[in-house]
Amino acid sequence: MPIEFQRRPGLVIYLTVGDPDLATTRDVALAAIDAGAEVLELGVPFSDPIADGPVIQRASERALAHGTRLDDVLALAAELRALRPSAGLVIFSYFNPVLRFGLERFCRRAPSSGVDGVLITDLTVEEADGYLTEMHHNELLPIFLAAPTSSDIRLKMIASVSEGFVYAISRVGITGKQQNLASDARQLVDRLRRFTQLPIAVGFGISTAEHVAAVSEFADAAVIGTAIVSLIEKAEPGTAPAVIASFLEGLRQGQQTAPAR
């Protein structure tokens, strides 16, 4: 079943769990939900985040230095589910931490922790058979990345195995802010619409109200990651939740409530 977005576009917020510490991540997550984030991507810190830019790389390093592990991410998900039952919760991870934890164990534990879906950033659909079997067995929603460089054949394959929503990468490269939203994003979403009725979220580089407004014209949700992590990195101790809430409220300026497709 798809993840429902009540506004157009929905806001999907990425957090590196454990940066700067678990208590702050919890408070930021709650503040983000209360400020309008409909889905949280709970990022599992990893020592070699090859798809991420320097901001999220530094966040992962700080979280790992504090000892944050996948078990902590699942524990946080359970706490958030209890406190904000309607929020969408997605585990965002590289495959290595899941394999180390144990794939079957992870897929059993995640639903009981209130997790809706999982996005493994470096797992391709061609290599995902065993993973998908465990996900389906435990009623977890697999979410996959779709890139502008993907062929129509591959987009159809991604769409056929995705649940929850499809994550459309706005441009090729690593995560990070960008000045203008690439036209590739609109073209990619248009291509994906041919193969799926699922909501489509656009991410990689979205950081301004203008970006969110642009996304609202053609996609169902905007994913904000690096901009959030950067604000947390720069925030004075104890101020990150308020900073993030203010930022998200600013992103909504000029946006009107509208149902997703």
Q: What is the pLDDT of residues 42-66, one digit of tens each?
A: 999 999 888 788 999 999 999 999 9
Number of domains in the chain: 1
Residue 94 lies in a domain: yes
State the pLDDT at residue 254: 45
Active-site residues: which are they?
41, 52
Residue 23 lies in a domain: yes
Residue 260 lies in a domain: no
Give the pLDDT mean for 85-113.
97
Q: How many CA atoms lie within 13 A of 113 on its CB side?
A: 22
Residue 17 lies in a domain: yes
How much is the pTM? Answer: 0.92
- Go through the chain and tell me how many residues it has: 261
Residue 58 lies in a domain: yes
Task: Show the domain range for 96.
Answer: 10-140+204-251
Residue 116 lies in a domain: yes
| Residue 94: CATH number of its domain | 3.20.20.70
Residue 181 lies in a domain: no
Residue 38 lies in a domain: yes
- Rounded Cα gap, residues 112 and 139, in angstroms: 11
Report the run of H or E that residue 40 belongs to, with start and end: strand 39-43
Q: How many CA atoms lie within 13 A of 95 on its CB side?
A: 12
Task: Identify the band that residue 6 occupies on the pLDDT scale cut at 50, 70 and 90.
Answer: confident
Say how far residue 105 (Cα) sits from the centre of its chain: 22
